[in-house]
């Protein structure tokens, strides 16, 4: 894998695809700058070599035309503070202005381009648009893991215009190293913890992981489909009735492949999908009518914690319950704590996928696990398909 460490940027203009798709509040304050902070080391490497930097990113989901609320100008000040140097802004990501600003850049200077998705050609992966972007730099750096599963103009198509001059940034390199460690060099036992809302969203990843893992822990909303498939009474819990056969197949595949599968035995059931609903802890196979399981129960927590504690590699995707509500977050917090404990004992833990990352951040435990992935969709797709368009384009 060729990274920025294998390239000397002296006198070059690096066109870096970053992921600055950060959340903004109504006053355009950045409410979580993780993605900006993550990009700083790559930018600094180019500058330290004596190069200049042109940054390109998307922000939000504009409808293919400029929209004030999605302008990247809102992040210029924050980025400039994080870098400790001025950042120039091009109000258009292509065209004469962008070209002249890029041309005038001196070593050590940084230019941020306007939102790529103000052009529909970005997501369409239009070659002519990618070529216009490519004219703004001498070398292409892809550091946007979060969009690497998309074959967009700036994430994949553009790479062909830099035949000998395309490398990965540190975010990409770290993400790929972390995931490859888990998928190809896992110490055993290897435990996958899958939760979240639905079986349908996780079935491909379960299939892929089945050949690699020793233990599969199933929690969250998807557990109730497994319980119902086995003849349990799940009340009004979230269930995908058209996936009962899929759940049974997962169970039989696990058995055939020697994977230990752990499904909740008790649940915290609520009279409504609300934090202040009446709640009761019950056998998960016997949830009363009118009640829905919103978290795993204490016996399940203890069982899961034991499996996690004995693991040497842990991959966690998806919360154990509706952790956004304080009365139903206990199971997710308990799983996070167990992962932290296992990590302290030497396990390698990778947390990936939007909501488990949100959970680990909620409990301030991101620094206590081995790696927190910055790209949920990209991580899952990499596990499912073994590659990503944005990775292939640079490696070609
Ligand atoms: P996913 O994006 O598939 O990982 O799903 C994450 C969402 O699943 C979170 O917003 C959780 O609140 C939700 N979730 C977790 N457990 C349950 C449950 N028992 N019932 C309904 N939703 C759940």
List, for residues 142-190, the tens digit of each pLDDT value.
999 999 999 999 999 999 999 999 999 999 999 999 999 999 999 999 9
Nearest CA, atom 20, ligand 1 = 221
Query: What is the 323 CA–ligand 1 centroid distance (Å)?
Result: 8
- Look at the chain and count its residues: 396
Does 4-173 match 188-346 in CATH topology? yes
User: Which of ligand 1's atoms lies nearest the C-alpha of 317?
Assistant: 4
Beta carbon of 324 within 6 Å of any ligand 1 atom: yes
By the 8 A CB rule, do 133 and 8 touch? no
Instruction: Write the residue with the smallest CA distance to atom 2 of ligand 1.
Output: 196
Among 132-141, 149-158, 329-338, 348-357, whose mean pLDDT is lowest? Answer: 348-357
- Please name every residue paired with 112 in a beta bridge, in sequence order, or none if there are none: 55, 89
pLDDT digits 0-9 by tens, 186-223? 999 999 999 988 888 888 899 999 999 999 999 999 99
**Residue 200 confidence (pLDDT):** 87
What is the mean pLDDT of the segment spanning 342-357? 92
Per-residue confidence at 327, pLDDT binned at 50, 70, 90? very high
197: CB partners within 8 A, 6+ apart: 220, 221, 222, 238, 318
pLDDT value for 278: 98
Cis geometry, peptide bond prior to residue 189 (ω within 30 degrees of 0): yes
Q: What is the model's pLDDT at position 360?
A: 93
CATH architecture of the domain with residue range 188-346:
3-Layer(aba) Sandwich (3.40)
What pLDDT does 354 receive? 67
Tokens of 131: 């070529």
Of 97, 131, 181, 198, which residue is the catalytic one?
198
Domain boundaries, given as residue ranges, for the chain: 4-173, 188-346
Contact 79, 112 (CB under 8 A): yes
Predicted confidence at residue 163, as pLDDT, reads 96
Residue 339 has pLDDT above 90, yes or no: yes
Is there an atom of ligand 1 within 6 Å of 197 CB? yes
Q: Do the Cβ atoms of 105 and 80 come closer than 8 Å?
A: no
198 is catalytic: yes
Q: From ligand 1's centre to the CA of 352, what distance in Å?
A: 15
Residue that the structure tokens 């990274």 belong to: 3
Quote the CA–CA distance of 15 and 2 in Å, as a whole number.
16
Which residue's C-alpha comes closest to atom 18 of ligand 1?
A: 221
Q: Is the pLDDT of residue 320 over 90?
A: yes
Tell me, what's the pLDDT at 282?
98
Tell me what the pLDDT averaged over the chain comes to: 96
219 lines ligand 1 (CB under 6 A): no
What is the distance in A from the centroid of ligand 1 to the CA of 319?
6
Question: Atom 11 in ligand 1: which residue has the minimum CA distance?
Answer: 322
Distance CA 252, CA 322 (A): 28
| Bridge partner residues of 281 (DSSP) | 268
Q: Which fold has domain 4-173?
A: Rossmann fold (3.40.50)
Task: Please give the pLDDT value at position 131.
Answer: 98
Cβ of 319 less than 6 Å from ligand 1: yes
Tens digit of pLDDT for each residue in 7-31?
999 999 999 999 999 999 999 999 8
**Rounded to an integer, what distance in angstroms lies between the CA atom of residue 306 and that of residue 304?**
5
pLDDT at 57 > cutoff 70:
yes
354 counts as catalytic: yes
221 lines ligand 1 (CB under 6 A): yes
Percent of residues, the chain, with pLDDT higher than 90: 91
Ligand 1 centroid–CA 250 distance in Å is 20
Q: How far is the C-alpha of 45 from the C-alpha of 5, rounded, in Å?
A: 8
- Establish whether residue 40 lines the binding site of ligand 1, counting it when its CB lies within 6 angstroms of any ligand atom: no
**What mean pLDDT do residues 296-314 have?**
98
61 catalytic residue (yes or no) = no
Which of the residues 60, 108, 201, 354 is marked catalytic? 354
Each residue's pLDDT tens digit, 94-120: 999 999 999 999 999 999 999 999 999
Q: Is 196 in the pocket of ligand 1 (CB under 6 A)?
A: yes
Does residue 251 have a pLDDT over 70? yes
Catalytic residue check, 331: no
**Ligand 1 center to 83 CA (angstroms):** 37
Nearest to 341 by CA among 329, 332, 349, 351: 349
What is the spatial distance between Cα 216 and Cα 196, in angstroms, rounded to a whole number?
Answer: 14
Residue 318 in contact with ligand 1 by CB distance below 6 A? yes
Ligand 1 close to Cβ of residue 235 (< 6 A)? no
Look at residue 114 in the predicted model and tell me its pLDDT. 98
- Amino acid 315: pLDDT: 97
């Amino acid at each position: 894998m060729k990274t920025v460490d294998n390239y000397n940027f002296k006198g070059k203009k690096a066109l870096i695809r970053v992921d600055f798709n950060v959340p903004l509040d109504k006053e355009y304050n950045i409410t979580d700058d993780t993605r900006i902070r993550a990009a700083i080391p790559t930018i600094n490497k180019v500058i330290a070599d004596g190069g200049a930097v042109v940054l390109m990113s998307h922000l939000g989901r504009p409808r293919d035309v400029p929209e004030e609320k999605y302008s990247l100008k809102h992040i210029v000040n924050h980025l400039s503070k994080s870098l400790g140097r001025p950042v120039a802004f091009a109000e258009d990501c292509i065209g004469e202005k962008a070209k002249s600003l890029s041309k005038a850049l001196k070593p050590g200077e940084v230019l941020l381009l306007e939102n790529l998705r103000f052009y529909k050609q970005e997501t369409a992966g239009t070659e002519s648009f990618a070529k216009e972007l490519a004219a703004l730099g001498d070398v292409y750096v892809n550091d946007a893991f979060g969009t690497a599963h998309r074959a967009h103009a700036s994430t994949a198509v553009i790479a062909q215009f830099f035949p000998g001059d395309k490398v990965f940034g540190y975010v990409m390199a770290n993400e790929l190293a972390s995931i490859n460690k888990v998928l190809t060099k896992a110490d055993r036992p290897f435990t996958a913890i899958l939760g979240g809302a639905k079986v349908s969203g996780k079935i491909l990843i379960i299939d892929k992981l089945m050949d690699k893992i020793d233990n599969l822990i199933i929690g969250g909303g998807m557990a109730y489909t497994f319980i119902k498939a086995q003849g349990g009474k799940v009340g009004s819990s979230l269930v995908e009735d058209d996936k009962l056969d899929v759940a049974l197949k997962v169970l039989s595949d696990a058995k055939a492949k020697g994977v230990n599968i752990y499904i909740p035995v008790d649940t915290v059931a609520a009279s409504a999908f609300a934090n202040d609903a009446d709640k009761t802890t019950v056998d998960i196979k016997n949830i009363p009518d009118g009640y829905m399981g919103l978290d795993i129960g204490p016996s399940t927590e203890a069982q899961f914690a034991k499996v996690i504690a004995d693991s040497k590699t842990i991959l966690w995707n998806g919360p154990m319950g509706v952790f956004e509500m304080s009365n139903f977050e206990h199971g997710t917090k308990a799983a996070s704590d167990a992962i932290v404990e296992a990590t302290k004992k030497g396990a390698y833990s990778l947390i990936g996928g939007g909501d488990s990352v949100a959970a680990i951040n909620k409990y301030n435990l991101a620094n206590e696990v081995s790696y927190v992935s910055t790209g949920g969709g990209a991580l899952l797709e990499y596990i499912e398909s073994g590659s990503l368009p944005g990775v292939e384009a640079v490696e070609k």
